[in-house]
Amino acid sequence: MTVLSRINSPADLKGLSSPELTQLAEELREFLIVSCSDTGGHIGAGLGVVELTIALHYAFDTPRDQLVWDVGHQGYPHKVLTGRRDRMGTLRQEGGLSGFLKRSESEYDAFGAGHAATSISAALGIAAGRDLNHDDFKVVAIIGDGSMGSGLAYEGLNNAGASGSDIVVVLNDNEMSIAPNVGAMHKYLTSVQRNPLYNRLRGSIGHIFEQYAKGKGPLHDLGAIVKKVEESVKALLTPGVLFEEMGFRYFGPIDGHDTDGMIETFKAVRAFKGPRLVHVITQKGRGFPAGEHGEKWHALPPGHDPATGKLLKASSAKPNYTTVFGKGLAELMAEDGSLVAITAAMPTGTGTHLVQKAYPARFFDVGIAEGHAVTFASGMATQGVRPVVAIYSTFLQRGFDSIVHDTAIQHLPVVFCLDRAGLVGEDGETHAGLYDIAYMLAIPHMTVTAPASGSELIGLLRTAMAHTDNPFSIRYPRDAAPDLVPAAGEIAAVPYGTWDVLRRGTDEVAVLAVGTMVQEAMSAAETLSAEGLDVTVVNCRFLKPLDQLSLAALLHDHKQLLVVEEGTVVNGFGAYLASVVEQMEPTVRVVAHGVPDRVVYAASRARQLAQCGLDAAGIAAKVRAMHDVEAMAG
C-alpha cells in the first residue's frame, strides 16, 4: 500500500515518520502529474507546494485552524490531502471538483478565490471574526510572491501588521506568478537568494555556531553571540527587515521542499501570537518530467502527455482570438510607432507575448496589478502614446474605478482589449467574463465593441487607433475565431458606430446579435427558415454608440427585437437597447437574451452556452417563444 493511499484527511499525516512524509511528497507529486494529464489544470503551482502543503496540514490543526490559499492554483495538493483524492479525475468538469478552492466543496476550504492577492485580507477578516467570537484557532494565508505585487496584498499586509492580530502569512516565493514576476518586490525577494555576501556569511557563521553552540561557559556564550550576529546580518541583507517594519515577525527564508524543516518552523510559529510571516522558497513545477517549470507548465489542457506536456491529439482548430489579437497587434505596431501594449502578468494568456518578442521596448508587463495597468496606460496617453491594455474581462473588473476616474473622465484614448469575455468553460465561475458589457456601457465616453470574427477584431483595432478623443473597448471570447484571418495590412478599419445587417428577413422578429452570438444567430436563422420563419440577423458590433440609422430601419420593419449577448442579461446590451427603443418606438418589443442572473459553474464552453440558451437551438427556441407570445396577445 502506498503512503498516499493511506491519507484520507490531514489527521492521517500526524502518525507518519519523516521518511514516510518524504515518500508521500513523491507519490503526491506523481499523482498530480498523471491526474492532470487527463483533466488539464493549473499544474505548475501545485507541484511547487507539495511539501509546503504537507507541512502546513501536519503542523496546524486543520480544519479548525484555517488555511486561506491565494488564487487556488496552489490548492491541488490541498484537495488531495483533504479527502478529495478519488474525485480528482473530475477536476474542472461539470459537476466535478472546482479548479480553485471553494467553500461549498470542503470544510477545509476556508475561503474561495480564483483571482490573486485576496488571501491576506480574507485571512485577516477571518481572524477578526474569530476574535469577536472569542475563539482561539489559528489562521494562515498562503500567498505567492507574484501576488505580492498586487495592491490588495499590500493593503492586507499593512492592515494586518498594524492590527497586531494573531495571523500567519506564508509567502510562497517561487519567482513566478504565471509569467516571470516583475516589479520591485520581486527584485527585493530574489535578492536574498542571489546575495553572495549573505550566503557566504551565513555559511561561515553557521559553521562557527555549530562548533561552539554545544559548548559550555565562554564557548557557549561565543556561540550565542555568533548567532546574534547572523540574525543581524540576515536582517540587513534579507527581505525580513521590510516585513518587520510592517509589523510582522519574520521567519526565513526557508527551503520549501524540506518537509521536516518546515514542520519544525510551523510548529514554532504556531505557538506565537501576533502577525508572523514565513518566507518559503519553492520551485514552481517541481518534478514535472519535461524538466521546465516556467510559464509553459503553469496550466495544461486535458489529454496531454504527462512526460512532455504536449497534447496527445493535435488540434486542427482555427487560431483562437487570443492569437489573432496578439499577431494582429504586433503587425499594427509595425505601422504605428505610437502604439504600445500593456498587460498585467499575462503576456501569453493575452497574446501580447508576440508583441513582447517583436517590440520589447514597447511592451509593458506591470504584474498582477490591473488597476495600476489602467492608470499607467492613462498616464502614457497624456503624452501622445497609444496604449493597448490587454487584460482578461474578469480581471479588468478590478480596474473599474481606474477606468472611470483615470481614463474616461479625462477623455484619454486608451484601448481596452478584453480577452476571455463571456463564458470560459472549465475555468468556471471565478474567471467568467460576464459583466464587462454592463460596466463598460455605464462609463461615459466609452466606445464598446464586440467583433464577430478574427478579421473584425483586427478591423476594430484599426478603428480604435483612429479614435483619439476617448477610450475604446473590444471584447472577444476564449474560443477559436470562425475565420482564417489575413495579415493586418489587408484588413480595413470598421466604420465607426456601424452595424452589419447579415440577413434581411420578412418576419416580424429581428435578431440583434453581439460578438460570439452572430454565428449562432445565423445558424438559428437557417433552422427557423426551414420552418417558415424568415428572421433578420444583425451583427451589432458597436454596442455604444448605437448605429442609429440601422436601428431606425429595424424599428420600422419589425415588431420585435431579440437581443442576444454572451454576457449578463442584467443591465446588459439588451437592457440598454430596450431603454433606447422605448423612447424611439414604444410599440416595438425588445427581448433581452443573455446569461441569466446566476452563477454559471464549470463545464465545457459549448455546454455552458447551451445551458444559457445561447447556442443556435436556444436562440431559435427564443424566437419561437416570441411568436407564441405575440400570437396569444393577438
Which pLDDT score, from 0 to 100, does residue 205 have?
47
The Cα 303–Cα 211 span in angstroms is: 55
pLDDT in tens, 316-348: 568 999 999 999 999 999 999 999 999 999 999
Averaged pLDDT for residues 444-464: 98
The Cα 307–Cα 315 span in angstroms is: 19
Percentage of the chain with pLDDT > 70?
A: 85
Which pLDDT score, from 0 to 100, does residue 223 have?
53
DSSP assignment of 101-151 equals B-TTT-TT--S-BSSTT-HHHHHHHHHHHHHHTT----EEEEEETTGGGSH
Within a domain: residue 315? no
User: Same structural domain for residues 510 and 605?
Assistant: yes
Within a domain: residue 495? no
Within a domain: residue 257? yes
Sign of the CA dihedral running 399, 405, 411, 412: negative
pLDDT in tens, 396-429: 999 999 999 999 999 999 999 999 999 999 999 9
Query: Which string of b and e fits 248-285 if b means at least 16 CB within 10 Å?
Result: bbbbbbbebbbbeebbebbeebeeeeebbbbbbbbbbb
Are 405 and 371 contacting, i.e. CB atoms less than 8 angstroms apart? Answer: no
Are 169 and 145 contacting, i.e. CB atoms less than 8 angstroms apart? Answer: no
pLDDT in tens, 525-545: 999 999 999 999 999 999 999
pLDDT in tens, 427-453: 999 999 999 999 999 999 999 999 999
Nearest to 421 by CA among 543, 303, 591: 543
Q: What are phi and psi of 275, to 5 degrees?
A: -70, 125
Within a domain: residue 204? no
333 exposed, middle or buried (CB, 10 Å; 0-12, 13-18, 19+)? buried
Write the Ramachandran bin of 351: left for phi over 0, alpha for psi from -120 to 50, otherwise beta: left
The Cα 228–Cα 243 span in angstroms is: 19
pLDDT at 304 over 70: no
- List the CATH number of the domain containing 365: 3.40.50.970
Are 229 and 242 contacting, i.e. CB atoms less than 8 angstroms apart? Answer: no
Look up residue 352 and give its DSSP letter. T
| Mean confidence (pLDDT) of the chain | 89
The Cα 449–Cα 456 span in angstroms is: 10
Which pLDDT score, from 0 to 100, does residue 178 have?
47
User: Same structural domain for residues 411 and 543?
Assistant: no
Which pLDDT score, from 0 to 100, does residue 174 have?
83
The Cα 479–Cα 323 span in angstroms is: 10
pLDDT at 67 over 60: yes
Averaged pLDDT for residues 136-152: 92
Write the Ramachandran bin of 42: left for phi over 0, alpha for psi from -120 to 50, otherwise beta: beta
User: Which grid cell sits at 155?
Assistant: 493593503
User: Same structural domain for residues 574 and 608?
Assistant: yes
Predicted confidence band at 288 (pLDDT cuts at 50, 70, 90)?
confident
- Into how many domains does the chain fold? 3
pTM listed for this prediction: 0.85
The Cα 579–Cα 577 span in angstroms is: 5
User: 477: which residues sit within 8 A by CB, 6+ positions away?
Assistant: 321, 420, 421, 422, 423, 515, 516, 566, 605
User: Same structural domain for residues 38 and 76?
Assistant: yes
User: Same structural domain for residues 404 and 469?
Assistant: yes
pLDDT at 185 over 80: no
Within a domain: residue 478? yes
Within a domain: residue 222? no
Which pLDDT score, from 0 to 100, does residue 152 have?
92
Sign of the CA dihedral running 234, 176, 424, 446: positive
pLDDT in tens, 485-511: 999 999 999 999 999 999 999 999 999
Q: One-letter amino acid identity for 462? A: R
| Domain boundary pick from 490, 515, 534 | 490
The Cα 24–Cα 4 span in angstroms is: 6
User: Same structural domain for residues 484 and 585?
Assistant: no
pLDDT at 314 over 90: no
pLDDT in tens, 116-130: 899 999 999 999 999
User: Same structural domain for residues 569 and 472?
Assistant: no
pLDDT at 620 over 60: yes
Write the Ramachandran bin of 329: left for phi over 0, alpha for psi from -120 to 50, otherwise beta: alpha
| Domain boundary pick from 261, 281, 301 | 281
User: Same structural domain for residues 253 and 376?
Assistant: no
Which pLDDT score, from 0 to 100, does residue 535 have?
97
H-helix or E-strand spanning residue 166: none
The Cα 472–Cα 630 span in angstroms is: 38
CA 574-579-581 angle, to 5 degrees, is: 90
DSSP assignment of 173-232 equals E-SBSSSBP-SHHHHHHHHHHH-HHHHHHHHHHHHHHHHHTT--THHHHHHHHHHHHHHH
User: Which grid cell sits at 494?
Assistant: 470598421
pLDDT in tens, 359-406: 999 999 999 999 999 999 999 999 999 999 999 999 999 999 999 999
Q: How far is CA 74 from CA 3, 99, 284, 299, in A?
A: 21, 10, 10, 12
Predicted confidence band at 209 (pLDDT cuts at 50, 70, 90)?
very low
Within a domain: residue 117? yes
User: Same structural domain for residues 440 and 338?
Assistant: yes
Within a domain: residue 233? no
Averaged pLDDT for residues 258-278: 96
Strand-pair category, 139-144 with 66-69: parallel
User: 205: which residues sit within 8 A by CB, 6+ positions away?
Assistant: 226, 227, 229, 230, 233
- List the CATH number of the domain containing 504: 3.40.50.920
User: Same structural domain for residues 485 and 524?
Assistant: no
Q: Give the range of the structural domain holding residue 410, as residue numbers without chain letter.
A: 321-490
pLDDT at 208 over 60: no
Predicted confidence band at 193 (pLDDT cuts at 50, 70, 90)?
very low
Beta bridge partners of 501: 538
| Domain boundary pick from 435, 470, 490 | 490
Q: How far is CA 329 from CA 289, 337, 367, 445, 488, in A?
A: 35, 12, 20, 23, 8
User: Same structural domain for residues 486 and 614?
Assistant: no
pLDDT at 210 over 90: no
Nearest to 598 by CA among 618, 619, 612: 612
Averaged pLDDT for residues 86-105: 92
User: Same structural domain for residues 468 and 506?
Assistant: no
Residue bearing the bigger pLDDT, 554 or 100: 554
Catalytic positions are 284, 370, 398
140-154, 228-242, 370-384: which is most confident: 370-384
Predicted confidence band at 619 (pLDDT cuts at 50, 70, 90)?
very high
Q: What are phi and psi of 422, to 5 degrees?
A: 100, -155
Helix (H, G, I), strand (E, B) or coil at 7: coil
User: Which grid cell sits at 371?
Assistant: 488597476
